[in-house]
Amino acid sequence: MKYLECEIKDNEGYIIPIGDVHFNDINFKKEGLAKLKGYLDWVKERPNARIFLMGDLFNVAGRNTKTSPLELKQYEEDDGPSNEFTEAVKLFKPYASQIIGAIDGNHEARTMDDYGISLTQHFCRELKIPYCKWSAVVRFKVGKRTDKGAGNRYRQNYFGYFHHTTGSGGTIGSKINRVTKLRDVVEGCSFYCGGHNHQLAVAPQDVFYPSMQGGIMKRRIWFVDCGSYLDYNNSYAEKAMLAPVKLGSPRIRLSGEENKHDVHVSL
């Protein structure tokens, strides 16, 4: 587990968790690529926006995997399956300064299990961004104070936990349940982000806690399923009788205003 800090000086910040792109999968088509580029360009236009990469950026299909090599995109001449790495680097490199970090997914784990090599780790070296392996806790400092004597203090602080997650399930409830399990791993975060199941969903939950100053306080936690970019027709999802999902990523907004500790998630 990696601990990172991210500073956003503006009065609000945006976090876009991007995962389950599956470069080189035959179902990563024009619509998915256009959606992905749209999010990346949206971030580029906003200095107060950041990206976190949620795993399964790569497909890593082989003879002994559930994903068949026959389901890979076909390239001419020498542009074979290794193209997924070069394509990913080429696409994300212009946005590297706004990428907080990246974690591995179960697809990257294939080469880790067989050869001890993570494509995500090499990808992070190419982009000069933090490699977080399986999960990361990120502290977000939002709304830099400008009053005299404030130093490097920020008006609001948030914690987010990012994990690719594991397990399976066909219903939206079973998928978001995998994300709620992340709270069993790391307590006290404002939001929890999970991937793996390709669902785009969000579930807020209010919890009560005793205050050291006396009385009972309430705070809100957000559980976020971070979506995917694969087309449904003729896909593994269709074969497994899984429901189609909306393509894309969630957008998490963090307030940096005084006396306004607020998280909002839009899909």
Residue range 165-214, pLDDT digits in tens: 998 788 999 999 999 999 999 999 999 999 999 999 999 999 999 989 89
Residue type present at position 134: W
Question: Is the predicted pLDDT of residue 35 greater than 70, yes or no?
Answer: yes
Name the residue ranges covered by the structural domains of the chain: 2-266
CATH number of 2-266: 3.60.21
Q: Is the predicted pLDDT of residue 44 greater than 90, yes or no?
A: yes
In the chain, the amino acid numbered 206 is: D
DSSP the chain: -EEEEEEE-SSEEEEEEE----BTBTT--HHHHHHHHHHHHHHHT-TTEEEEE-S--B----TTSSS-GGGBPP-STT--TTHHHHHHHHHHGGGGGGEEEE---TTTHHHHHHHS--HHHHHHHHHT--B-TTEEEEEEEEEE--STT-TT-EEEEEEEEEE------SSHHHHHHHHHGGGGTS-S-SEEEE-SS--EEEEEEEEEEE-TTSSEEEEEEEEEEE------TTSHHHHTTPPP---S--EEEEE-STT---EEEE-
Q: How far is the C-alpha of 257 from the C-alpha of 211, rounded, in Å?
A: 23
Say whether pTM exceeds 0.85. Answer: yes
How many Å apart are CA 219 and CA 252, to the nearest integer? Answer: 17
User: What is residue 75's predicted lDDT score, i.e. its pLDDT?
Assistant: 44
Q: What is the pLDDT of residues 99-113, one digit of tens each?
A: 999 999 999 999 898
Q: Are 3 and 38 in contact (CB under 8 A)?
A: no
Phi first, then psi: give them for residue 158, nearest 5 degrees: -135, 150
- Work out the mean pLDDT of the chain and round it to a whole number: 91
| Rounded CA separation 109/90 (Å) | 22
At residue 76 the predicted structure's pLDDT band, cuts being 50, 70 and 90, is: very low
